[in-house]
């Protein structure tokens, strides 16, 4: 059966020292509890190796927020999947709406990144989600389906089964405007149906689909209670250990 997962996405926040302190706080908080979900933090590239040295990997997973669409070579400033893996990280967020929106990431690029991540034994947390205009004009289901089809339908069922998906309606990210639990459930059930049609019900049933967008301790329990919501990808609220743990403990 699929796992429940709460993953933090720190985005471009914290210096190395602040990040290590935050990771230590989350790690410490996890010592005393047995959460009903896997817990992961996805952190800036610069923090990965150091944070890997201060957390208990049996209780707290570590991931990057992106990786390059090339394996190695003359790509100044990029960080490859093997480089991420060499820090000890085992997850990588791919296709976040901020990457799509501000850095021009397309489904073609993402297809390559997913392949490179899987080849390097990184678990992609693959993000999909519509913008407000698409929600308002009723194309949100088509948009999300196309994002999945274009980047992920070339995978084998076995490889698809290694992914985590994150539905993040762009209008809910960092806006304080959360999708209602019914809106999240409706889309998550739709996504699971898209997966089932292509890869079969077993793969669909085993795929964790996280919700992201202004998720916080006060709304997490209601979201996570929905049958197709398998956890959260948490931005702002993951930058404070107590609020992140409040979401972890919502399961």
Closest separation in Å from C-beta 125 to ligand 13P: 9
Q: In the set 4, 9, 109, 219, which binds ligand 13P (CB under 6 A)?
A: 9
Among 81, 92, 94, 234, binds ligand 13P (CB under 6 A): 234
Query: How many Cα atoms within 13 Å fall on the side-chain side of residue 73?
Result: 4
Among residues 98, 130, 168, 185, the one annotated as catalytic is: 168
Strands 231-234 and 38-42: unpaired
Q: Is residue 96 annotated as a catalytic residue, yes or no?
A: yes
Site string for ligand 13P, 110-149 (x = CB under 6 A): ----------------------------------------
Active site residue 168: yes
Nearest-angstrom CA–CA distance, 241 and 31: 13
Name the segment binding ligand 13P (CB under 6 A); options: 43-51, 157-165, 191-199, 228-236: 228-236
Rounded least distance, CB 110 to ligand 13P, Å: 15
Could you give the CA distance from residue 43 to residue 90 in angstroms, rounded to a whole number? Answer: 12
Query: Quick one: which segment of 22-30, 55-63, 113-121, 235-243 binds ligand 13P (CB under 6 A)?
Result: 235-243
Q: Judged by CB, which is closer to ligand 13P: 30, or 220?
A: 220
Q: What is the C-alpha radius of gyration for the chain, rounded to an integer number of angstroms?
A: 17
Site string for ligand 13P, 35-64 (x = CB under 6 A): ------------------------------
Cα 203 from Cα 2, distance rounded (Å)? 9
Find, among 67, 120, 58, the residue nearest to 94 by Cα: 67
Catalytic residue, chosen from 96, 105, 185, 188, is 96
Min dist CB 181 to ligand 13P, Å, is: 15
The neighbour count for residue 1, using CB atoms within 10 Å, is 7
**Interface mask toward ligand 13P for 152-191; x: CB under 6 A:** ----------------x----xx-----------------
**Which position among 63, 95, 231, 235 is part of the footprint of ligand 13P (CB under 6 A)?**
235
Q: Map tokens 């005393």 to a residue.
A: 32
Name the residues annotated as catalytic: 96, 168
Residues that bind ligand 13P (CB under 6 A): 9, 96, 168, 173-174, 212-215, 233-237
């Amino acid at each position: 059966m699929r796992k429940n997962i709460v993953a933090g996405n720190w985005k471009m926040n914290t210096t190395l020292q602040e990040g290590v302190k935050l990771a230590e706080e989350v790690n410490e908080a996890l010592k005393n509890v047995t959460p009903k979900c896997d817990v992961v933090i996805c952190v800036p590239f610069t923090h990965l190796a150091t944070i890997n040295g201060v957390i208990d990997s049996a209780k707290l997973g570590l991931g990057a927020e992106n990786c390059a669409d090339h394996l190695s070579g003359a790509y100044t400033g990029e960080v490859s999947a093997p480089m991420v893996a060499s820090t000890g990280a085992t997850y990588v967020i791919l296709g976040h709406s901020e990457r799509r929106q501000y850095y021009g990431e397309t489904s073609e690029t993402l297809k390559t990144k997913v392949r490179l991540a899987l080849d390097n034994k990184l678990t992609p947390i693959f993000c999909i989600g519509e913008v407000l205009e698409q929600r308002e004009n009723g194309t949100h289901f088509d948009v999300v389906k196309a994002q999945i089809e274009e980047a992920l339908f070339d995978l084998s069922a076995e490889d698809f089964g290694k992914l985590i998906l994150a539905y993040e309606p762009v209008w809910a990210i960092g806006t304080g405007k959360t999708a209602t639990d019914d809106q999240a459930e409706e889309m998550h059930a739709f996504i699971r149906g898209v997966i089932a049609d292509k890869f079969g019900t077993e793969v669909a049933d085993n795929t964790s689909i996280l919700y992201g967008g202004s998720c916080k301790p006060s709304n997490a329990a209601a979201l996570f209670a929905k049958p197709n919501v398998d956890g959260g990808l948490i931005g702002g609220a993951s930058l404070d250990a107590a609020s992140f743990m409040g979401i972890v403990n919502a399961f």
